[in-house]
């Protein structure tokens, strides 16, 4: 089964959104690897970043595996691919959630340097980002 088919199956009734996700960001990690290799995710991180099957991710993990980097990339990938989308980071601490937001901004900045047409950040605070395409 290809990525587009998997996204359509997982969306269950949201075919238009699923097609748009598949068209624009079936492999956000590959885009990052090509545009900004210095922040390219590892293979185990790619599986999470590029997994569009579920809107929720729970990751039981040890320390120092790059979870903040992974979730920051996943959130920014969807924010750029699906205008008006929302990503919410729930963490044990506000500091941990802010770190994920910082990583999302890092992904945005790295891609903005190399790719035209990236939706610009219009608002940023310590706890949120808003893009010109309406994503948050």
Share of the chain above pLDDT 90, in %: 12
3-state secondary structure of 26: coil
pLDDT of residue 130: 95
Q: What's the sign of the alpha-carbon dihedral 20, 12, 30, 40?
A: positive
- 25 pLDDT more than 60: no
pLDDT of residue 9: 54
- 35 pLDDT more than 70: yes
Query: Could you tell me if 91 and 71 are in contact, meaning their C-beta atoms sit under 8 angstroms apart?
Result: no
**CA distance linking residue 92 with residue 96, whole number of Å:** 7
pLDDT of residue 116: 63
**CA distance linking residue 42 with residue 88, whole number of Å:** 23
What DSSP designation does 38 have? G
pLDDT tens-digit map of 53-83? 666 777 777 677 888 888 888 888 888 878 8
* Extended beta strands in the chain, E state: 121-125, 128-131
Name which of 23, 71, 123, 57 is nearest 136 in CA terms.
123
pLDDT of residue 1: 46
Counting every residue written for the chain, the total comes to 136
pLDDT tens-digit map of 75-126? 888 888 788 888 888 778 888 888 989 999 998 998 887 766 778 999 998 8
**CA distance linking residue 128 with residue 136, whole number of Å:** 7
How confident is residue 4, by pLDDT bands cut at 50, 70 and 90?
very low
Share of the chain above pLDDT 70, in %: 75
């Amino acid at each position: 089964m290809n990525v587009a088919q998997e996204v359509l199956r997982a969306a269950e009734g949201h075919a238009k959104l699923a097609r748009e996700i598949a068209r624009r960001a079936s492999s956000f990690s590959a885009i990052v690897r090509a545009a900004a290799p210095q922040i390219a995710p590892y293979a185990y991180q790619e599986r999470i970043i590029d997994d569009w099957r579920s809107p929720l991710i729970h990751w039981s993990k040890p320390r120092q595996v790059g979870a903040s980097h992974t979730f920051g990339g996943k959130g920014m990938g969807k924010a750029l691919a699906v205008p008006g989308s929302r990503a919410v980071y729930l963490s044990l601490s506000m500091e941990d959630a802010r770190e994920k937001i910082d990583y999302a901004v890092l992904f945005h900045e790295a891609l903005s340097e190399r790719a035209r047409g990236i939706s610009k950040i219009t608002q940023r605070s310590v706890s949120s980002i808003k893009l010109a395409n309406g994503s948050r």
